[in-house]
């Protein structure tokens, strides 16, 4: 991965997403006077406290390291989220050498984590690794989405399924939002694992086969999934709205445990209970 090209594309994309109004600059009512979408280089440079020439050289790949104070100032100007700020530091910070250390990919989940997931019989739970590989799932998570543990290679990637399987578009009520977040999460993984062959193969395949992925990937957004809401339209039980929380797996920096929950007494809670009982009934039938 070419860090200079990545930095340049990231900066251009970030300033293109902002408008002068959003950062408190005077609004020029003559729209034709602005030749580029979003902020101009001189506006970003002025707000970050550097010369236009310095910032221009940065976007041209001729400045590859900067002080932490400047990186922080630039992140503030561009209104970056926490994941994007960390991403910018990994690309540009002099204190990190402008590089991220490659970590080996962990592909197995400890037995104790499996035990925790299995104990959450009324809550879908699963573990994601690099490239959004689904490394482990409890039974309810398999019923809510699909059983990724039966797949191999890139077939275990939640990202690949989201973009390339029509079932995902049907299952996620807000597919566009989910897919945009997935692309941003892959961008985060690509930075921490730039030489991961499977991850690069996944990004290459999605770039070739998915117009939507190419569009969102080109925006250079970066995202770490921590908590939020997901809405499903399940083929068996209908609408399910879940809150999700993610927890880092201790000792495994690239593994995240996802747990879905519903509001007690809500239609979504009832739907999950029906889904769980359907699995129980199926298991009982197999025993006879």
The CATH number assigned to the domain holding 9 equals 1.10.260.40
Please check the confidence at residue 286 and state whether its pLDDT lies above 50.
Answer: no
Instruction: Please state which of the ranges 37-41, 242-246, 256-260 shows the lowest mean pLDDT.
Output: 37-41
In a domain, 105, yes or no: no
CA 16/CA 63 separation, integer angstroms? 20
Beta bridge partners of 126: 137, 258
Please check the confidence at residue 62 and state whether its pLDDT lies above 50.
Answer: yes
In a domain, 221, yes or no: yes
Please check the confidence at residue 20 and state whether its pLDDT lies above 80.
Answer: no
- 78/125 same-domain check: no
- 124/266 same-domain check: yes
Instruction: Please state which of the ranges 96-105, 174-183, 185-194, 260-269 shows the lowest mean pLDDT.
Output: 96-105
Please check the confidence at residue 3 and state whether its pLDDT lies above 70.
Answer: no
- 84/145 same-domain check: no
CA 271/CA 260 separation, integer angstroms? 13
- 186/211 same-domain check: yes
What is the rounded average pLDDT of the residues 85-98? 70
In a domain, 171, yes or no: yes
- 171/233 same-domain check: yes
In a domain, 52, yes or no: yes
- 90/124 same-domain check: no
The interaxial angle of helices 3-16 and 41-48, nearest 10 deg, is: 100
For the four alpha carbons of 207, 210, 216 and 221, in that order, the dihedral sign comes to: negative
What is the rounded average pLDDT of the residues 85-114? 73
Beta bridge partners of 249: 252
For the four alpha carbons of 181, 126, 163 and 205, in that order, the dihedral sign comes to: positive
What is residue 61's predicted lDDT score, i.e. its pLDDT?
79
Please tell me which of 94-108, 130-144, 220-234 the model is most confident about, judged by mean pLDDT: 130-144
In a domain, 13, yes or no: yes
In a domain, 46, yes or no: yes
Picking from 79, 40, 41, 48, the residue whose alpha carbon sits closest to that of residue 66 is: 48
- 221/90 same-domain check: no
- 42/123 same-domain check: no
What is residue 84's predicted lDDT score, i.e. its pLDDT?
83
- 203/269 same-domain check: yes
Give the mean pLDDT of the chain. Answer: 85
What is the span of the domain harbouring residue 14?
A: 3-96
For residue 123, give the DSSP letter: S
Please check the confidence at residue 156 and state whether its pLDDT lies above 90.
Answer: yes
Contacts of 232 (CB under 8 A, 6+ apart): 144, 171, 172, 173, 239, 240, 241, 242
In a domain, 148, yes or no: yes
What is residue 243's predicted lDDT score, i.e. its pLDDT?
97
- Which of the four pLDDT bands, split at 50, 70 and 90, describes residue 87? confident
Instruction: Please state which of the ranges 1-15, 27-41, 131-145, 193-207 shows the lowest mean pLDDT.
Output: 27-41
What is residue 121's predicted lDDT score, i.e. its pLDDT?
85
Q: What is residue 29's three-state secondary structure?
A: coil
- 128/223 same-domain check: yes
Q: Kindly provide the residue ranges of all beta strands, DSSP E only, lying in 189-283, ordered along the sequence.
A: 227-234, 238-249, 252-261
CATH at residue 274: 3.30.450.180
Beta bridge partners of 248: 256
- 22/164 same-domain check: no
Please check the confidence at residue 1 and state whether its pLDDT lies above 70.
Answer: no
What is residue 193's predicted lDDT score, i.e. its pLDDT?
85
In a domain, 102, yes or no: no
Q: Kindly provide the residue ranges of all beta strands, DSSP E only, lying in the chain, ordered along the sequence.
A: 125-128, 134-137, 227-234, 238-249, 252-261
What is the rounded average pLDDT of the residues 248-253? 90
CA 129/CA 6 separation, integer angstroms? 23
CA dist 76 → 96, 253, 267 (Å):
19, 27, 41
| Residues 168-202 pLDDT 10s | 999 999 999 999 999 999 998 888 888 889 999 99
């Amino acid at each position: 991965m070419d860090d200079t090209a990545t930095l340049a594309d990231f900066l251009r994309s970030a300033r293109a997403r902002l408008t002068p109004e959003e950062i408190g600059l005077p609004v020029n009512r003559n729209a034709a006077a602005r030749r580029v979408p979003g902020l101009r280089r001189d506006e970003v440079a002025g707000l970050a406290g550097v010369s236009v020439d310095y910032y221009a050289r940065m976007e041209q790949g001729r400045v590859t390291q900067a002080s932490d104070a400047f990186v922080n100032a630039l992140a503030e100007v561009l209104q970056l989220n926490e994941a994007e700020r960390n991403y910018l530091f990994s690309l540009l910070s002099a204190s990190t050498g402008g590089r991220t250390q490659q970590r080996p990919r962990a592909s197995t989940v400890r037995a104790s984590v499996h035990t925790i997931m299995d104990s959450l019989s009324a809550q879908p739970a699963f573990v994601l690794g690099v490239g959004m590989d689904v490394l482990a799932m409890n039974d309810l998570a398999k019923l809510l989405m699909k059983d990724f543990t039966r797949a191999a290679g890139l077939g275990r990637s939640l990202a690949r399924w989201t973009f390339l399987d029509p079932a995902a578009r049907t299952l996620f009520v807000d597919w566009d939002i989910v897919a945009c977040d997935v692309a941003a999460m892959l961008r985060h993984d690509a930075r921490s694992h730039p030489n991961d062959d499977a991850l690069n193969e996944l990004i290459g395949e999605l770039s070739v086969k998915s117009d939507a992925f190419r569009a969102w990937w080109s925006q250079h957004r970066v995202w770490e999934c921590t908590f939020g809401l997901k809405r499903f339209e399940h083929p068996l039980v209908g609408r399910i709205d879940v809150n999700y929380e993610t927890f880092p797996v201790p000792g495994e920096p690239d593994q995240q445990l996802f747990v879905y929950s519903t509001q007690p007494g809500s239609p979504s809670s009832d739907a999950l209970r029906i889904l769980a009982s359907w699995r129980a009934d199926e298991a009982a039938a197999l025993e006879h």
